[in-house]
Each structure stands twice: as structure tokens, then as C-alpha cells.
């Protein structure tokens, strides 16, 4: 019997704001436990939560980037549950009127394009963080409680694990390039829950759904979905029935393990949040946000490949993060040759970042300085060998490359009136090399170039010396 899979996703993104969604508590990582939380976050009697405007702005950015319909009127609701990660005993979310509905993401899998619908997306608050001890106690830090989240709920339109993987990658890239979230799964700024059901081919009615929560990489998502497809098929083929349940992916075995069986939906007793006014989102504001939306990764890719002539691989490396793509764009805008800029970004700059375990934002290199250095290479002022020294100085200390090259006397020697006598002298002093050259040993010329480089301490223009040496040797 053939089965068809139906897969859906709920993805949470932490939105990049400085303060929390309903209170001015700072959003910060690594702060001492329970220092960045206040009476509003705790829901103490008499406090009044106020909505952070930027949470809406960032959410609207993602809604626009996913072609979603933004609701003109929204309001917040309380989702009631008792758990130590929320001292309020409820989460403020948008249940009845979400931020946006009916969007889509376009993916390409197995050479075919497909649109995956986005059912809705809403903004809400995160809960605190529990660390479970081994001594029968848990330790709660409420710094994360109230951090803004955007939850994106897909339509169940994904039909295999590869499509699921592609959907997540595309969604991550879209959100990343709006700048609304850091989208780092390892840091929890992107969290993935998925659900899957299977049904015999030809059957219209969907099968029983199994949920998997908090998967920590896209690869685990793919593997756990693939495992579930097989497991559920075996259950059905042996005459059993799939239970409504939550399962966990076990990294060690690559299998999914039953966590708990769910009978009926959890009873969260949602009701409209009485402390927060309804929000009207004006068309003017949406237009304003639309005009501030950064270029998408797709747009940038097309420019890099079609206009700049970069290789697909190079373009993709630049597009791994918005930061690196932004840096490249600024370098090109400052007058650098795009191909050279891409080469330097993808090899030297990335190498430096990896070696020193830092990020672009942490280093002293500016796009302007990188562009200035590339211009010096391009116009022949410095050789690419010297450029490596200039680069090392500029990236470490933020030194202006042009000034550095002048101060250090690094300007490349291209003047033939200076180089010609040197070439003559070197050829005169090395009759053996002349002999070798005549016997067709091309390596002889390399030796002679080396001699001149030594004399000029690497400043001679290799192209010019090669030409001069060739001319001189032909004469002998």
C-alpha cells in the first residue's frame, strides 16, 4: 500500500527588540538570572502592559516578506496555563485575530517549484527558562519571559521530509533578510515544532497527527519526519492505529520516541486580554514598513550572479548571513570590484572570522577600507602579495589602507626605467639561468623573478618584471 504524508510546521522566531513585548525590561542574553524582569512581566496586581511598537513592526516585515494578508484590527488574548515558567499563569498571545494570515513561501525541491501556504502568524510573549536539576527541583530564570516571539504556522501542504527541510531553509532565509530575528536554532532564536500524518494514497481524509517539538536542527527535522513516515506506515500496515501523541527525536538512535499521548486538545480557556487595547494597523504604516524592507536574499542572489557575474557558490557564501551580504553590498557601493570583493570576503575575511571566532560586527574592518584596498590592487598600486600584509593590518587595527601603503613605502614598483637596469643586472649575474631558459626550462624565469623580488623586498610588479625578463632573455 502506498501512503501520502501531510506535514505542517509551527516555527517560533525571537524578534530582535531591545525591550520586551509588554514591558520595558531589557532583552539581554547572559544576564544574571531574574535581573531583567519586572512587575509587569510577573503580572502583579495593578500593572499595565503596553505593547512594544517594534514587535509589530518586525512582525509586519515578516508578514510582508511572506506575502501575507495583514489584519487591519488585531487584539491580544490570554492563554491560561499553570507552570513555573510564567508567574502570570497565562501567556499573552494573539489567538482570535492574529497579525497576519494567508501568506506563502515558494520552495524548490527535486527541480520542482512549489508554494507552501502560511496559515497565520501571530506575536506573543516567550516564557521563562527552566533548568531541571537532578535533585527533584527545577531552577527558573524569568529573564526570557516576555521576550517577543513571532509564531509562523504553515498550512499542512508539505508532502515529504525534503520539502519540509526546504520550507524551513526558505522561511529562515526570508526572516533573516528582513533583519527581524537572528534565526539561530542553536541559540533558540528559531524553534521548530512539526507535525505529520500519513494516509493511504487515494484517501481524502487526513490521518492521525503526531507532533514533534523543539527539534534542534533542520537535519533532525528531516530525519525525524522520515522515521515517522516509516513508523506510521508500519503501524497501519500491521492493522494498528496511530495515536494522537507527541514524540521526541532521539539523536543517538535516529528514532522518534513516544513522549506522551494526547487525548483531546489542551484546555487553555482563551479570552481577550482585558489590559491591552485592540490595535489598528493602518495602511500608511504598512506602506512605510514596506519601503524600509531590506532586499531579500533572492533579489541579492540574482544581482550577484546576473549583474556582477559571481559564481553561484560565491553568491551563496556571501548570502549565508544578512550581515555578510550587507558588508559586501557596502564594499561594492564604496567602489570595489564585485568579483574581487567577493573573493576577499569569502576567503580572507571569513578566514579571519573563523580563526579568531568573531563576527563581522566585532571586527575593525569597514566596507570602505576593504573597498579602498581592492582599488589599490585593481589599479596596480599594490601587488596581491603586499595586499595580504595591508589586509592583515587593516582588519586588525582598522588602518586606512591607502595611508598605510604610503607610510610603509609599499607602493608597487612598476616603473620600467627603475626595473630595467635591475633586470639586466640579474640576467648578467646568472648565466646558468640564461642557459636553462634557452634549453626550454621555464622555471629559470621564476628563479630570476625571485631574485628581483628579493632586491625590491617584494615591491616589484610581477607582471612588469616577467615582461622585461622575457624581453631581455630573448635578446641574449
Partner 1 sequence: MEITEETIKHVAGLSRLEIDEKEIGKVTEQMSSIINMADQLSEVDTEGVEETVQVVDRDTVFREDKPEHWETREELMKNVPEQANGFIKVPVIINKDEDE
Q: Which is nearer to partner 1, 14 or 160 (CB)?
A: 14
Distance CA 91, CA 78 (A): 6
Distance CA 447, CA 325 (A): 41
CB of 4 to partner 1, least distance (A): 29
Q: Which is nearer to partner 1, 2 or 134 (CB)?
A: 134
Output phi, psi for 151, to 5 deg: -105, 125
Question: In sequence order, what are the residues at sequence separation of 6 or more whose Cβ sits closer than 8 angstroms to the Cβ of residue 256?
Answer: 210, 212, 224, 227, 228, 231, 247, 248, 249, 250
Residue 102: CA atoms inside 13 Å, Cβ hemisphere, count?
4
| 385 makes contact with partner 1 (CB under 8 A) | no
**Neighbouring C-beta atoms of residue 250, cutoff 10 Å:** 13
CB of 278 to partner 1, least distance (A): 6
| 91 makes contact with partner 1 (CB under 8 A) | no
CB of 174 to partner 1, least distance (A): 22
Nearest to 171 by CA among 212, 214, 211, 218: 218
Q: Which is nearer to partner 1, 55 or 212 (CB)?
A: 55
Residues in the chain, overall count: 476
| 26 makes contact with partner 1 (CB under 8 A) | yes
Strand, coil or helix: 397: helix
| 17 makes contact with partner 1 (CB under 8 A) | yes
For residue 362, what is the DSSP state? Answer: G
| 75 makes contact with partner 1 (CB under 8 A) | yes
Q: Which is nearer to partner 1, 252 or 266 (CB)?
A: 266
Task: Give the footprint of partner 1 on residues 129-168 (CB under 8 A).
Answer: 131-133, 136-142
| 72 makes contact with partner 1 (CB under 8 A) | no
- Could you say which of 81, 104, 270, 308 contacts partner 1 (CB under 8 A)? 81
Question: In sequence order, what are the residues at sequence separation of 6 or more whose Cβ sits closer than 8 angstroms to the Cβ of residue 232?
Answer: 3, 196, 197, 198, 207, 210, 242
CB of 246 to partner 1, least distance (A): 8
- Could you say which of 9, 11, 13, 27 contacts partner 1 (CB under 8 A)? 27
Angle at 318 between CA 61 and CA 329, to 5 degrees: 70
| 287 makes contact with partner 1 (CB under 8 A) | no
> Residue 424: in which H helix or E strand, if any?
helix 416-429
Nearest to 40 by CA among 51, 30, 29, 31: 51
| 53 makes contact with partner 1 (CB under 8 A) | yes
Which listed range, 74-82, 106-114, 307-315, 382-390, lies at the site for partner 1 (CB under 8 A)? 74-82
Residues at the site binding partner 1, with contacts judged by CB under 8 A: 17-19, 24-27, 32-39, 42, 50-56, 75, 80-85, 96, 131-133, 136-142, 259-260, 262, 266-269, 272, 274, 276-280
Amino acid at each position: 500500500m502506498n501512503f501520502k504524508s501531510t506535514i505542517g510546521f509551527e516555527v517560533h522566531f525571537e524578534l530582535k527588540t531591545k525591550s520586551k513585548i509588554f514591558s520595558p525590561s531589557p532583552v539581554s542574553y547572559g544576564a544574571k538570572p531574574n535581573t531583567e524582569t519586572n512587575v509587569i512581566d510577573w503580572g502583579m496586581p495593578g500593572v499595565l502592559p503596553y505593547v512594544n511598537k517594534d514587535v509589530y513592526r518586525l512582525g509586519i516585515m515578516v508578514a510582508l516578506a511572506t506575502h501575507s494578508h495583514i489584519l487591519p484590527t488585531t487584539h491580544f488574548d490570554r492563554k491560561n496555563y499553570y507552570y513555573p515558567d510564567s508567574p502570570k499563569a497565562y501567556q499573552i498571545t494573539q489567538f482570535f485575530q492574529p497579525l497576519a494570515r494567508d501568506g506563502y513561501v515558494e520552495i524548490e525541491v527535486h527541480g520542482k517549484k512549489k508554494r507552501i501556504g502560511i496559515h497565520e502568524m501571530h506575536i506573543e510573549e516567550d516564557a521563562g527558562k527552566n533548568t531541571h536539576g537532578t535533585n527533584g527541583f527545577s531552577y527558573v530564570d524569568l529573564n526570557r519571559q516576555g521576550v517577543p516571539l513571532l509564531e509562523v504556522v504553515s498550512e499542512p501542504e508539505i508532502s515529504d521530509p525534503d520539502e519540509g527541510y526546504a520550507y524551513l531553509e526558505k522561511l529562515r532565509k526570508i526572516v533573516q533578510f528582513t533583519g527581524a530575528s537572528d534565526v539561530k536554532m542553536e541559540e533558540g532564536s528559531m524553534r521548530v515544532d512539526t507535525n505529520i500524518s500519513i494516509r493511504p494514497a487515494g484517501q481524502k481524509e487526513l490521518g492521525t497527527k503526531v507532533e514533534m517539538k523543539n527539534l534542534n536542527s533542520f537535519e533532525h527535522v528531516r530525519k525525524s519526519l522520515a522515521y515517522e513516515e516509516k513508523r506510521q506506515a508500519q503501524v497501519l500496515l500491521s492493522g494498528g492505529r496511530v495515536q494522537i501523541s507527541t514524540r521526541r527525536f532521539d539523536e543517538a538512535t535516529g528514532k522518534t520516541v513516544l513522549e506522551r499521548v494526547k487525548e483531546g486538545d489542551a484546555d487553555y480557556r482563551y479570552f481577550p486580554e482585558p489590559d491591552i487595547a485592540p490595535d489598528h494597523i493602518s495602511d500608511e504604516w504598512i506602506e512605510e514598513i514596506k519601503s524600509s524592507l531590506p532586499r531579500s536574499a533572492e533579489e541579492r542572489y540574482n544581482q550577484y550572479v546576473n549583474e556582477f557575474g559571481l559564481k553561484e557558490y560565491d553568491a551563496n557564501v556571501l548570502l549565508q548571513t544578512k550581515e555578510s551580504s550587507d558588508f559586501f553590498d557596502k564594499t561594492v557601493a564604496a567602489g570595489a570590484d564585485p568579483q574581487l570583493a567577493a573573493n576577499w570576503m569569502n576567503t580572507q575575511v571569513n578566514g579571519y572570522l573563523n580563526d579568531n571566532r568573531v563576527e563581522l560586527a566585532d571586527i575593525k574592518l569597514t566596507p570602505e577600507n576593504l573597498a579602498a584596498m581592492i582599488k589599490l590592487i585593481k589599479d596596480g598600486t599594490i601587488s596581491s602579495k603586499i595586499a595580504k600584509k595591508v589586509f592583515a593590518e587593516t582588519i586588525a587595527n582598522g588602518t586606512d589602507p591607502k595611508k598605510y601603503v604610503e607610510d610603509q613605502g609599499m607602493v608597487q614598483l612598476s616603473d620600467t626605467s627603475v626595473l630595467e637596469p635591475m633586470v639586466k643586472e640579474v640576467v648578467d649575474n646568472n648565466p646558468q639561468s640564461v642557459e636553462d631558459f634557452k634549453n626550454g626550462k621555464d622555471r629559470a624565469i621564476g628563479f630570476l623573478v625571485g631574485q628581483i623580488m628579493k632586491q625590491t623586498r617584494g615591491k616589484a610588479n610581477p607582471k612588469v618584471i616577467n615582461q622585461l625578463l622575457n624581453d631581455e632573455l630573448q635578446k641574449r
